[in-house]
Amino acid sequence: MFENVAGLPLDLPHPAQKALIAAGIDWHDERVAEAHVTHALMLAPEALATRIGAYKFYFYRHRLQEALPHAFSVLEMAAKRLQLPHDWRLVQGHHADFDQIEPWPRLFLQALIAYGYCLARLGRLEEGRAALAKAMELDSGDKLGAGRLIGVIDRGGRDDDDDE
């Protein structure tokens, strides 16, 4: 998630950037890498790149409960930048050009999918499905794949390729 943030100002102070780079270098040692992520968050808690970095760290470590608030924070940052309603449930297609997938609308959709995915994996299926359905509604061509994730939820966690 959040794979393409090209074109977005990442507003990251150099010391926080160094901490996130160190987290990548020390990825093999989870405790040390997490200390770097925590340090970056302390240095720049409101920086988009810090929140994305923290989300990715916890997501790829399968620590979804800890990834969830960072996904939500990125969602809020994108919503604020786009001047969207504070509650993602109230966002409509006319609020931004979601189908063109400009950087900020794309980030909003990616964060909403990340948020919904984490919720679903944490067993909060109804909430997760609602977030994914909103992402699919806004991304009418389903370019970001929220529909596939909804399908997995609807099949009780089985992917299309799983044996029945």
Question: What distances in angstroms separate CA 108 from CA 34, 81, 111, 147, one per listed residue?
Answer: 25, 10, 5, 16
CA–CA distance, 161 with 118 (Å, rounded to integer): 21
Low-confidence ranges of the chain (pLDDT < 50): 1-4, 163-164
pTM of the entire predicted model: 0.89
Q: What pLDDT shows up at residue 9?
A: 56
CA–CA distance, 110 with 120 (Å, rounded to integer): 15
Q: What pLDDT shows up at residue 5?
A: 52
Q: What pLDDT shows up at residue 3?
A: 43
CA–CA distance, 46 with 74 (Å, rounded to integer): 10
Q: Which fold has domain 14-154?
A: 1.25.40
Q: What pLDDT shows up at residue 35?
A: 98
Rounded (10°) CA dihedral 30, 122, 149, 129: -140
User: Six-digit token pair at 60?
Assistant: 């790829």
Other residues' Cβ atoms within 10 Å of the Cβ of residue 138: 21
Question: What distances in angstroms separate CA 157 from CA 46, 51, 122, 161, one per listed residue?
Answer: 34, 28, 12, 11
Please report the sign of the dihedral spanned by the C-alpha atoms of residue 129, residue 118, residue 91, residue 152: negative
